[in-house]
Amino acid sequence: MKDTSYEFLKGLLSIPGPSGYETAAAKAWRMEAEKFAGVRGDRMGNSFATLNEGGSPRVMLAGHIDEIGLMVTHVEDSGILRFSGVGGWDPQVLVGQRVLLQTKNGQVRGVIGKKAIHVMEADERKKVSEIKSLWIDIGAKDGDEAKEKVRVGDVAVIDQDVVELPNGRIASRALDNRMGAFVVLEALRLLSEEDGLAPEVVAVANVQEEIGLYGVRGAAFGLDPDAAIAVDVTHATDTPGIPKNEHGDHALGSGPVITRAVNLSPVVTEGLIATAEAEDISYTLEADSRSTSTDADAIQFTRAGIATGLVSVPNRYMHSPNEIVDLEDLTNCARLIAAYTRSLTKDTDFIR
């Protein structure tokens, strides 16, 4: 990965952007995209970067830019904040975390509190934590002071910077799926560096995936592409306790994961597989006998149907404050998508 791309990725990961509150992250993505593509946004908050406008076929590359987070639901008289999850959390990973609250007056730091083990009853110690039993402490002396800083409805993210690990790996919050928004833009960047591109290619940093695949529906409806590739994370299965017979064999560093699913286009999927082999890009296959639980599901049934494929990156510890990916997998994911898209012509037939 180029140093400039890596610095952009790290910056993008550092920006808070829970579902529905992605504006700052979207702004950073658009600023980067403006260096080599035509850029616009929409009323939902989706971001679009276009190459070769008017070309054929029109191809959509989608990666959601939102992350899971927290939302303040109540301010107690003591100054303690109650909250709910924005997206799916395992509450066990929240206990003791530092958070960054996004307020109208800027960021407010806090910590997630829980009754200490020393003052728990014996039966309490055996129970797993639930979000309703946790709270955020911002150090306020009472409710009035807390309300001067924070309002009900303010959102928060875990306060975790990118950690560089050996072997080209990083740990960070928001890799699901700020990474996907990064990959589709990197694929577009690669395409911008070559002449003779036939299709119109639109990279999309879509919003509100973690709460229901909402943003990409509007983006796909408005674009009405002939084909689309969604980019997301999938579970790395090289850690203890994950059965490969259920989830496949996807280790960090094993390359892009191409999904074969009953609701995805075999035309696009087989094209991605053939491209990976032609370009000597290592990959693994993932099978879904129903839906994929990604933006690909929403894209493929938009309008009269869009020929959709799904490419993922192996990710350890998904939906936690410290997800881990291999940077080489991101690079190869972008290479694969760019190479496949580059191979398309106005005569490419997606009808099946």
Which residues make up each annotated binding site for Zn(2+)?
64, 176, 210, 232, 319
Long-range contacts of 138-143 (CB under 8 A, 24+ apart): 138/79, 138/81, 138/101, 138/108, 138/109, 138/110, 139/79, 139/110, 140/79, 141/79, 142/77, 142/78, 142/79, 143/75, 143/76, 143/77, 143/78, 143/79
209 carries an active-site annotation = yes
**Containing H/E element for 40?**
strand 38-41
Pair 175, 10: CB distance under 8 Å:
no
51 vs 341: CA distance, rounded Å = 12
Binding site members: 64, 176, 210, 232, 319
49 vs 187: CA distance, rounded Å = 11
Point out the catalytic residue in the list 32, 67, 200, 209: 209
Which positions ≥6 away from 250 have C-beta within 8 Å?
A: 234, 235, 236, 237, 238, 257, 284, 286, 314
Pair 306, 156: CB distance under 8 Å:
no
Pair 190, 338: CB distance under 8 Å:
yes
Per-residue burial over 228-267, b = 16 or more CB atoms within 10 Å of its CB, e = otherwise = bbbbbbbbbbeeeeeeeeeebebebbbbbbbbbbebbbeb
Residue 99 in tokens: 């958070």
214 vs 64: CA distance, rounded Å = 10
Catalytic residues: 209
